[in-house]
Amino acid sequence: MLGGITLTVLYYAVPPTYLGRGVLGIALLLGYLVVVLWRVLFLSLVDADLFKRRVMMLGAGERAAELTRMMRRKSDQRGFKIMGYLPVGTDPVSISAPLLLHPDEALCEWATRLGVKEIVVGPDDRRGTLPVDALLECKQHGIAVTDLPEFLEREAGKIKMEPTNPSWLVFSDGFNVSPMRRTIKRAFDVVVALLVLLVAWPLMLLTAAAIRLESGRGAPILYHQERVGENGKLFRVIKFRSMGTDAESNGVARWATKNDDRVTRVGRFIRKARLDELPQLWNVLRGDMSIIGPRPERPQFVSDFNTRIRFYSLRHCLKPGLTGWAQLRYPYGSSLEDAEEKLKFDLFYVKNHNLVFDLAILIQTLEVVLFGRGAR
């Protein structure tokens, strides 16, 4: 589709390049078939165990079992294959017997013979139980040795909140917000916001007209609401009104829920299509928000989360975004547990954000918008 649109624009802009509708149609059809075949071949190769990184888990306790539960889907293990779990020390074994490993020789020799490329260290209690000398020997022979939180962050795209070892967040790489990065991110925000406005302004006019027709004269088309921004600073977010004017007449903040009866008929559609978010482009141009970042929450919710969820305030070291990594990786949240789980993805973004990551999130957001996943 993108290729066809690009070629059509090119033909109108530079007439000598025109090839004819028949040639264009045949080329697009063949191109589509080749792309589909290539995609099928690529996915089959990616899923083949032959091309996966062989990983061994050092530890078979509750932490290792938690990793198994979190990464149980085939798509979660697309880049690696867990060869098994090696019990350590006196940790109670929480892994089923067929997955346990029992080396009959030195750890390094055994791992090398099986082609292990990485050892993930994740015992429940590592005090005096880790085979440090054996792990150092493995590193000297080219086998990567990785801590469990670091492995989970890399493979699952979220931060593992370690209640027993929170200091690893302090000493880990990332969480860098340099002046250069701020400048690049701001330029990215302004350029993307202007481009989206250039394309979406007719949809914005139609949305405003639909809200006016449904609600009648005198009812507001836009609504403003306080949200928490960078460094905890409050700002007023602008959105198309998708709920009735008396949605929170008692002044108490409420989560949006599935089939929320406060949502109007027009509101239900514009929420599914994400059209209600478009006025926030003005917040982006003003500098209150970014295109990509953690979604801004209401002060009432943030105050509660700050006291009940550890490290929640870390997500406010960046400007909130129109879309974000948590929105792609986790469904719409409406509880404390959801907020805690989404924080793991938000902190992964805060820790690892860069221009390429922003572009990847922006492209994946198009799929969410087109297919209406996660909207309420």
Verify that 93 and 20 share a domain, yes or no: no
Q: Indicate if the pLDDT at residue 323 is higher than 60.
A: yes
Verify that 311 and 226 share a domain, yes or no: yes
Q: Is residue 93 domain-resident?
A: yes
Q: What is the largest CA-CA distance in the chain?
A: 81
Q: Indicate if the pLDDT at residue 345 is higher than 70.
A: yes
Verify that 335 and 200 share a domain, yes or no: yes
155-210 confidence digits (pLDDT tens): 888 887 665 566 666 666 677 778 898 999 999 999 999 999 998 999 999 999 99
Q: Is residue 44 domain-resident?
A: no
Boundary-marking domain end, from 113, 141, 156: 156
Boundary-marking domain end, from 122, 156, 190: 156
Verify that 223 and 320 share a domain, yes or no: yes
pLDDT for 188 equals 95
* Angstrom distance (rounded) from CA 51 to CA 343: 32
Q: Indicate if the pLDDT at residue 263 is higher than 50.
A: yes
pLDDT for 246 equals 64
Q: What percent of the chain has pLDDT over 70?
A: 89
Could you say which DSSP state residue 147 is in? E
15-63 confidence digits (pLDDT tens): 888 878 888 888 889 989 999 999 888 877 776 767 788 999 998 888 8
* Angstrom distance (rounded) from CA 292 to CA 323: 5
Residues forming a β-bridge with 237: 225
Verify that 85 and 130 share a domain, yes or no: yes
Q: Is residue 376 domain-resident?
A: no
Confidence of residue 279 (pLDDT cuts 50, 70, 90): very high
Q: Is residue 333 domain-resident?
A: yes
pLDDT for 136 equals 93
Q: Is residue 196 domain-resident?
A: yes
Q: Is residue 167 domain-resident?
A: no
Q: Is residue 100 domain-resident?
A: yes
Q: Are 162 and 168 in contact (CB under 8 A)?
A: yes
| CATH code of residue 56 | 3.40.50.720
Terminal Cα-to-Cα distance of the chain (whole angstroms): 29
Verify that 291 and 229 share a domain, yes or no: yes
Verify that 133 and 220 share a domain, yes or no: no
Q: Indicate if the pLDDT at residue 254 is higher than 90.
A: no
Average pLDDT score over residue span 130-159: 89
Parallel, antiparallel or unpaired: strands 144-147 and 118-121: parallel
Backbone region of residue 285 per phi and psi (left: phi > 0; alpha: psi in -120 to 50; beta: other values):
alpha
Verify that 81 and 105 share a domain, yes or no: yes
DSSP conformation letters of 252-299? ------TT-TTB-HHHHHHHHTTGGGTTHHHHHHHTS-EEESPPP--H
Q: Indicate if the pLDDT at residue 270 is higher than 60.
A: yes
pLDDT for 45 equals 78
Average pLDDT score over residue span 137-142: 92
pLDDT for 289 equals 96
Tokens of 91: 């940790």
Average pLDDT score over residue span 317-321: 93
Average pLDDT score over residue span 209-228: 88
Verify that 110 and 183 share a domain, yes or no: no
Q: Indicate if the pLDDT at residue 291 is higher than 90.
A: yes
Q: Considering only residues 368 and 106, tell me which one the structure prediction assigns the higher pLDDT.
A: 106
Q: Which domain holds residue 197?
A: 179-243+261-371
Q: Indicate if the pLDDT at residue 376 is higher than 50.
A: no
Tokens of 93: 């074994």
Verify that 30 and 54 share a domain, yes or no: no
Verify that 367 and 236 share a domain, yes or no: yes
pLDDT for 249 equals 57
Verify that 54 and 32 share a domain, yes or no: no
User: Does the global pTM surpass 0.85?
Assistant: no
pLDDT for 37 equals 95
Q: Is residue 276 domain-resident?
A: yes
Q: Are 55 and 116 in contact (CB under 8 A)?
A: yes
Q: Which of 37-41, 135-139, 342-346, 365-369 is predicted least confidently?
A: 365-369
Q: Please, what is the average pLDDT of the chain?
A: 85
Domains held by the chain: number: 3
